[in-house]
Amino acid sequence: MQTWNGFPLINDETPSDDLFNARDDKGVLFGRGYVERDFNVYPHEMFAPPTQMALIDPSEYDARIEEQERLESSMEHIYLGAPNQLPRFVNLDQASSNFCWNYSTVHTVMLARLRDNQPLVRLNPNASAIIIKQGRNEGGWCGLSAQWGREHGFAEEGTGEGQWPLHGMSLRYDTPALRASMAKYKITEDWVDMAQPVYGQNLTQRQLATCLLSNQPCAVDFDWWGHSVCAIRWVKVEAGSYGLLILNSWKGWGRHGLAVLQGSKMNTMGAICSRVVKAA
């Protein structure tokens, strides 16, 4: 696979096998879980973007990226801010589940907390996914998990009271204590196209670029990949060509879970930006 700055570079030349048949260190196929859009069921909607967002002009992208490099001030720098450029936390692992659409949004919450210097708390997207899907291992969209994050918040990973065990798939963990704990990890401000149904909430590339250049992580859905991941930075791959630095929810994949999407591979079918999360 091609690389850019040490990260896998995924573009139109990337063999599809590298993306659709990726496996973990035990040989198990990674799960994905974005529901490819059946337009008979989920019809196309007119796009009504969040209009309040002041957009960064594309002519400023290079200067802003250069400033981020000079001051090591991007979300990439913050995430890889542990000694020896290691990540401040290991990326979440959806294993073979179909819950990518929850992992992408929960990654945005963990990254926003990291940016704000909130205590590191490992969250567990399986909880919200299992509750939303009533115990079924089903796909969805980042707009759906973001809606849950606004209304209920996300669960801590763990086996204590009010926590959800790693990769737990049982509704029996859904207790009043869990719900009380989830409320500490709500999304309180975000950029979402609220005029659209959850499967159609998307951001334009200029909106995505503005959010990412402002260190506001975004959950992004890709129809071509059948997958949802977290975008953490708007990067310049080469002169005149930009890409999305993404954090995947596959254990051991990419460089610390990170890779770059370029060209048509960065065209989103869904996107939300978690701007502010509750302090706890």
Partner 1 sequence: MKRIACVLIAWLVLTGLASAQISILGETKVEPNKLVRLKAAGATPKAGLVWRVYPPNVDKATTGKGLLEFVAAPGAYRVELLAITLAPDGETVTAEAAANVVVGGDPKPDPKPPEPGPGPKPDPAPIPDAGFRVLMIYETAEVQSLPPAQSSVLFSKQVRDYLDKKCAVGRDGKTREWRIWDKDIDTAGESKAWQAAMGRKRDAVPWIVISNGSTGFEGPLPANVADALALLKKYGGE
Q: Which of 4, 7, 35, 64 binds partner 1 (CB under 8 A)?
A: 64
**Three-state DSSP class for residue 104:** helix
184 lines the binding site for partner 1 (CB under 8 A) = yes
Strand partners, 272: 219
Q: How far is the CB of 53 from partner 1 (least distance, A)?
A: 7
Are the beta carbons of 232 and 75 closer than 8 angstroms? yes
Q: How far is the CB of 54 from partner 1 (least distance, A)?
A: 5
Q: Which of 13, 18, 36, 72 binds partner 1 (CB under 8 A)?
A: 72
What is the C-alpha to C-alpha distance for residues 229 and 104, in angstroms, rounded to an integer?
Answer: 4
Q: Which of 56, 100, 198, 244 binds partner 1 (CB under 8 A)?
A: 56
What is the C-alpha to C-alpha distance for residues 274 and 176, in angstroms, rounded to an integer?
Answer: 25
Q: What's 106's DSSP letter? A: H
- Paired tokens of 110: 């963990």
In terms of CB distance, is 68 or 98 closer to partner 1? 68
Q: How far is the CB of 132 from partner 1 (least distance, A)?
A: 23
Q: Which of 163, 215, 248, 268 binds partner 1 (CB under 8 A)?
A: 215
Q: How far is the CB of 210 from partner 1 (least distance, A)?
A: 5
Give the total of residues touching partner 1 (CB under 8 A): 42
Contacts of 224 (CB under 8 A, 6+ apart): 264, 265, 267
Q: Which of 66, 136, 170, 197 binds partner 1 (CB under 8 A)?
A: 66
In terms of CB distance, is 109 or 130 closer to partner 1? 109
219 lines the binding site for partner 1 (CB under 8 A) = no
Binding window for partner 1 (CB under 8 A); candidates: 4-12, 33-41, 48-56, 224-232: 48-56
Burial label, 167 (beta-carbon count in 10 A; 0-12, 13-18, 19+)? middle
116 lines the binding site for partner 1 (CB under 8 A) = yes
Q: How far, in Å, are 25, 84, 160, 264 from residue 102 at the CA level? A: 23, 30, 22, 23
Q: Which of 54, 84, 172, 176 binds partner 1 (CB under 8 A)?
A: 54
User: From start to end of 91-144, where are the E strands?
Assistant: 123-124
Residue 27 Cα to chain centre, angstroms: 24
What are the contacts of 86-90 at 24+ separation with CB within 8 A?
Answer: 86/256, 87/256, 87/257, 88/114, 88/120, 89/114, 89/120, 89/122, 90/256, 90/257
Convert residues 151-180 into a mask of x (bound to partner 1 by CB under 8 A) and - (unbound).
Answer: ------------------------------
119 lines the binding site for partner 1 (CB under 8 A) = yes
User: Contact residues for partner 1 (CB under 8 A)?
Assistant: 52-57, 59-60, 62-64, 66-68, 71-74, 77-78, 81, 115-120, 184, 186, 188-189, 210, 213-216, 239, 275-276, 278-280
